[in-house]
Structure 1
Amino acid sequence: MSRYVSEDCIPGKGAYVGLAPPGDAGSFQRDCKGYQFWTRADEHGYYSIKNIREGQYNLYAWVPGFIGDYRYDAAINITAGCDSDVGELVYEPPRDGPTLWEIGIPDRSAAEFYVPDPNPNYINKLYVNHPDRFRQYGLWERYAELYPDQDLIYTIGTSDYAKDWFFAQVTRKKDDDTYEGTTWQIKFQLDNVNKSGTFKLRISLATANIAELQIRINDPKADPPLFTTGVIGKDNTILRHGIHGLYWLYSIGIPATLLVQGNNTLFLTQPISNSPLAAFHGLMYDYIRLEGPPSSTSTRGVKPATIAPNTSLD
């Protein structure tokens, strides 16, 4: 982890660690033909994986509370009766500068955000006063009821993401039963803006379904936008009453020339709304962070797991 959080390495408490077919960091999410073997690290970052099928794997990990994916560079060959120790591993999550503000918890889920009460006609009593309240039917339609004319506006320092950040950025249903895309705003203040610097916006998504995320700064009509994901996702999480699907992470450089001292606005637009399943075009955010320009001081890494894994096949 960077020095902006801690000068020392931090044990990867609760890290998810697994062996999956070789690929890039995070590729285990899309693998559907190979075998995978996963466990969680203890409070000190130690773990072991046992009873693994013979074959060649990469070791992958991610740590709740930190963005990004880890992959051990060397392939791991598992043979009958083997006992492998990969030693101590260090993960350095993406970080350029100090946190100016953040929204959410980097845990690959949108569960911490505001989940509305269901339509009384569709209440599932199993999920009344239940932690998984997002499993109620039709919650996506509550967005248009809460925001009939104007989209969500979130103000840093005043708003509370547990109350003011709708759990999914969905389309808005109009009176004629058609749908329109939505643009959310994040309002924030900057005390100082060094015009020669670059700020960094980190956005991780918990899921996306035939959606596009466009980013603009201080001009909602800027064409082209500062950044766009293009059309992403086929998770269908919204329709299936889930709270996460595939994980997406984007790091967007913001030239300081686009920002001003004082009040600024970040515009998040999801424009796709013109298909028979327009109600389910949308995305769920996992975590958003704005970092200031980096300083010249070096950074250090996070220790997600100190490993004595005993990756054996019994």
Structure 2
Amino acid sequence: MVSPQALSEADRRTVAAWAADCAERVLPLFEAEAPDDDRPRDAIARARAFSRGELRAADEIRRRFVAGRAAGDVSSPAAVAAARAAAQASGVAHMGAHALGAAAYAAKAVGLVVPSRADAVDEEVRRQLQAMTPAIRAALRRLPLLGEDRAGPLGSGLLATGVLATVIRQLQADLAAERPGGPVRRETHSRPTPDGRAFWWTETLWAAATGLEPVEVDVDSIAELDMNCWFGPDLPPTCRAVAEHARRIQEARLDHPIILSADGGLMDGGHRVARAWLAGETRIAAVRFTVDPEPDWME
């Protein structure tokens, strides 16, 4: 199974340039101590070349550890962090989550070089956020939250500790603020396919649906209204679970259209459909894919 931290190759190429920019901001901190060591600079250049489609993912995956070894050849904490930022940027070809690692190490390096400035790290994070294009934000929103998935850099390793974790949580909190409905709820939609069960992060569906023209559909035409979509063997309908769904139905906003697959199946918006039905509404706003987006992973 492909880790949700990997992202698609297209998304990895999208975020690689941003990761390279983050790392390059602090590259002088490394080169001031090791001016003849070009491993971090080369890693950043390769990340940019990968983002432009000039390098193959497979080749870059084999080379992703080169810049990280440079961190062992410098002594100042800021130079070490700068080298690791470059290494994370080069690792984006392997896993998209390394983009957040590049940003985190870069912000840490800035904080280490000016320890007297309490806001130095926050200021660097703000700059990193301002440098994100809508496409970069959409790609990064597809990553699991820090600590939510163990199979990758956002698991329980170095990025989940100290300043690095704080920076990544700041970045992900800002990214999450754009999601419809406000608070972060990491959810998926899945369905069986001939190749196995396909899974999409809900954010993937939101991003793919951007720009689609909403239309009104009959509430009673949504087949999932009469299906068991929320409970199963591992999720029994306890009173607490039912109450949680009742609360979410109450909070659902009908000004956000539901999302339908190319074949008309509900991919996002079950609580909105339930609220519309309870309110006696016969129509609900919906967007529908003509071609479903690629799943985030298969099982």
**What is the TM-score with the length of structure 1 in the denominator?**
0.25
Give the strand-richer structure, 1 or 2.
1
